[in-house]
Structure 1
Amino acid sequence: MSTKRIVTVGLELASGDTQYASFRSKLSLLDWDIVLFKPEISDFLSYVTDYYQGKPSLDESTSFSLKECCEHWRRELKQAVETGKTVIVYLSSLREVFVDTGQRSYSGTGRNRQATRHVSLYTNYQSIPASLTPVVATGSSMKLVDKGAEVLASYWSEFESRSHYQVLLTAEKVPASLVTRTGAKAVGALYRSKASAGTLVLLPDIDFYDATFVKEKGAKQTWTPAAGQFAGQFVSAIVSLDKALRSSSEVTPEPSWAAAPGYTLGPEAELRVQLLAAEQRVEEAQRQKEDTADRLSAAGRHRALLYEKGKPLENAIVEALRLLGFTAAPYKESDSEFDVVFESAEGRLIGEAEGKDSKAINVDKLRQLSMNIHEDLQREAVSTPAKPVLFGNGFRLQPIAERPDPFSEKCHSAAATSSTALVHTPDLFTVVQSLLAQPNPVYARECRIAITQTTGRVRFPPMLERTLPTSETTSGESQSDA
């Protein structure tokens, strides 16, 4: 078992000597001795539907998440090397995407006003703390450079056959360690820290998910013995490489006694003041970023209507109903507990919420809803039965356009018998989205009427230009890519 603490980011190994972290995690790398990193961002591209100049164009939310993750890893990798860690980056395929810059330009006036969304090119290599200027090229014919890469010889003899390059590193002053056999183009590099024994090692990619490494077991994938054998060999080689890098380092970490005030050099005092001021500015910027991120998260909370279940879905429904003009809240008293009780001038209603990962909402929830209506009617303060409403989010993990009917046939039949309204929560999200973009009490009332007067699946009216009860109107905006 390795005595080194090893973390893998963006790649997994069938080894108990390593710990895996996803690219989306916010893990600190300071707790680890060796970092294995792969700038793999395919998770951000899973549901991209927009393209610009032939490349994926991410929406505002996904753009923010991708840039935040890349900035996090760039900062963590740089800090890890500066504090004496060995960071090994496997240079995976170059992924170029367009991200939302947050800037908008406008044309037209009133209801014809249009917003143009500005985007910029972004790549997964921006998570690596080095200027590389990668160019797409693939191949497997490589060699170590004649001088300066001796430390990689043992590793390369074991894994040359499994390695393949996905990019050429074309930036100036790249400290190449591996080059193509023809043309001597850089495909790997060694960056030594000037202040510690840390090293940033850039290596050609390896297929860590070879077809012989995984097997299907029911609905899951498991590692094969071949995967475990490879992982053991690989971890051993990485630990040996780390040892070789440290023994060949020309930098001796500064002992604590050498940092005593009596050994301070002239420029250091002023530079320390400047560094402290810079750190304070970074902390303030970080606080502003975190505050903005919190407000952004709060602003997007209604998206829970698209994919959530349980309490998060119930909370999102309550907020949506309030936006429509209902008085809405969960109800709990003695033995009675209802997901939501809501009312307006159009009527009083009781709702139950249900989300299903990969199934339609079945009739069971309607039985519960019927019992709730009867329990509610037994209360002294209630004289007439409330309208039953079932809020369903069937097939919640699938893209909206790919979902079948979210309610089962039995659910539809029972709803017709019990005069129950069936609300698909993504439909409710569309209403919320429209009202947040263009508040309109007339449209909100029409949506309340749709819920209170419908038996079966509720079909909300589309947001059209309506006459408001005041003299003011709210202008709409359309977006297009720059």
Structure 2
Amino acid sequence: METIVSVGFSFPSDEDDYIHFNSKSSLSDGDIIIFNPYLSNCGYELDYRNNFKGKPFYNSHSSFLILDHLAHWQNEIITGLNSGKTIFIILTEKNEFYIHTGKNNTVDLCHNYQFLPSSNFSLISATGKAIYPYSEIVTNLFKHCKDLFKYEIYIKSQEHIKAPLFATKSKDKILGHTIKIGKGNLVLIPSIFFPDDFYDNDEDWTKEALIWGKRFKQILAEISKSLKSEKKKTPTPDWTFNETYYLTNVTSTKNAILKNEEKIFKIQKDIAILEKSLTEQEVIKDLLFESGEALEYAVRKSLKILGYSAEGYDDGKLELDQIILSPEGDRFIGECEGKDLSHVDISKFRQLQDSLHEDFAREEVDEKAFGILFGNPQRLIDPAKRTLDFTDKCRRGAEREKIALIKTADLFNITRYVQESGDENFKVECRKAIKEQLGRVVQFPPLPM
């Protein structure tokens, strides 16, 4: 049986087949994907204003994560379709919201279906339960889910859809559709809502729910098989599973498949853990080439590896890239700037100065923090070939105000060493170098041999 992986859609199953939407997991291990773009349980945080123009408004960090996750899933889905996967999209409620762009305090209107490959259809919000099947390949799916189906979206196509999967009785609203993309198939189906009796007192799936889920997966596999078949093949009717038509010689084959699937699931689980660890370890590479919020996140990660605590700050009035505390008790305010092909100039330096003054004006702050400007000049060039760093004006200002200037490519080198070696003494030396070189471009101690 083909491997089924679910993103953002929890359905009755006793297998490790669920992936969170707010992750960057791969879809490579699944033959059939179920995708539900439901963002409300992903932990994204709203801006202090909560809404903008009547729609939810996410804070800067969550805005970056949402865009990153949407882009990741779009890439995974396109790659999967091109390789021949069948991807079922659960047409859950369409949510529109605003996000920070990270550019000049501007915002963008987004929605939770922006991961879909470009196509000649749009998704329109509407709700109802009167759903009718109009294709034989979804006959079993409709029988299995008709009491659980509810539509929250209908499909509006620029071209007439001759053979929809599902629609309203008059066909004025298309509720399900299949689209051939690359070697694969994108299958849009209505939302599925599970009843309370699918859960026991511990909120686990009941035995009956798991039986439902097993048949659900079989039906999806049958639909996928039909879509991939060069010749139209009718999905296997339910009644063929009666004992009257059972084939005894398939038992050993099925058992062998199950044993191998158990081995595969264990390997996939181990790979998922390793991939998560790999993603976290590789964040510091962003110090070499990123800008904006991605660079800010990488700097925070690096500082934590060096023993600092480092967090962004936004109280609705004051927004800071980094508030940094050292184990020695020193407090810093950090700002980050990445430049494609040029020096880091005085503009970000002035912003850091303003941040230092505004932070000191807060009632809970008794002592003015030190400043650090993290710069990633010529970020699109190999660090070994870079010739620029901070402008002369920026250097003179740093000397006057006792602000440390740190090249993030230098930060990468020492962070990589500490991450791989765990050298506590070297951490202390690096923190000491930053404190003692306020007003200059920080030169970190040479890496131990």
TM-score by length of 1: 0.52
Match of 2:417 in 1: none
* SS in structure 2 at match of 1:128: coil
C-alpha contact 1:94 1:123 (8 A) present in aligned 2: yes
Match of 2:69 in 1: 69
C-alpha distance in 2 between matches for 1:239 and 1:325: 52
Match of 1:101 in 2: 101
Bigger CA radius of gyration: 1
Relative to 1, partners in 2 of residues 1:128 and 1:325: Cα closer, same or farther, differing over 3 Å? closer
Match of 1:408 in 2: none
Q: 2:124 aligns with which of 132, 135, 138?
A: 135
Match of 1:211 in 2: 196
Deviation at 1:179, TM superposition (A): 1.2
**Do structure 1's residue 181 and structure 2's residue 148 form an aligned pair?**
no
* SS in structure 1 at match of 2:103: strand
C-alpha RMSD of matched pairs (Å): 4.4
Deviation at 1:123, TM superposition (A): 0.5
C-alpha distance in 1 between matches for 2:230 and 2:24: 32
Deviation at 1:437, TM superposition (A): 6.3
TM-score by length of 2: 0.55
1:75-113: CA deviation from partner (whole Å, max 9, x where unpaired): 211221221111111110111101122232xxxxxxxxx
Relative to 1, partners in 2 of residues 1:226 and 1:84: Cα closer, same or farther, differing over 3 Å? same
- Structure number with greater CO (CA < 8 Å, separation at least 6) is 1
Relative to 1, partners in 2 of residues 1:130 and 1:14: Cα closer, same or farther, differing over 3 Å? same
Deviation at 1:341, TM superposition (A): 4.0
1:179-235: CA deviation from partner (whole Å, max 9, x where unpaired): 111452111110123x52x21100001025x32233453xxx422223312212211
Q: 2:152 aligns with which of 153, 166, 187?
A: 166
C-alpha contact 1:5 1:18 (8 A) present in aligned 2: no
Relative to 1, partners in 2 of residues 1:129 and 1:225: Cα closer, same or farther, differing over 3 Å? same
Give the aligned residue type for 2:174. Answer: A
* SS in structure 1 at match of 2:186: strand
Match of 1:37 in 2: 35
Relative to 1, partners in 2 of residues 1:312 and 1:238: Cα closer, same or farther, differing over 3 Å? same
Point out where structure 1 has 5 or more consecutive residues left out of the alignment.
Answer: 105-116, 251-285, 305-310, 329-339, 344-427, 448-457, 475-482
C-alpha distance in 2 between matches for 1:295 and 1:130: 29
Match of 1:390 in 2: none
Deviation at 1:443, TM superposition (A): 7.5
Deviation at 1:460, TM superposition (A): 2.8
Deviation at 1:140, TM superposition (A): 1.2
C-alpha distance in 2 between matches for 1:442 and 1:242: 59
Match of 2:208 in 1: 226
Map residues 79-158 of structure 1 onto 2, 5 A cutoff. Answer: 79-104=79-104, 117-131=105-119, 132-145=121-134, 149-158=135-144
Deviation at 1:41, TM superposition (A): 1.1
Relative to 1, partners in 2 of residues 1:62 and 1:182: Cα closer, same or farther, differing over 3 Å? same
C-alpha distance in 2 between matches for 1:230 and 1:33: 20
Deviation at 1:301, TM superposition (A): 5.0
Match of 1:24 in 2: 22
Match of 2:11 in 1: 13
Give the aligned residue type for 1:213. Answer: F
Relative to 1, partners in 2 of residues 1:164 and 1:189: Cα closer, same or farther, differing over 3 Å? same
C-alpha distance in 1 between matches for 2:73 and 2:312: 36
Match of 2:227 in 1: 245
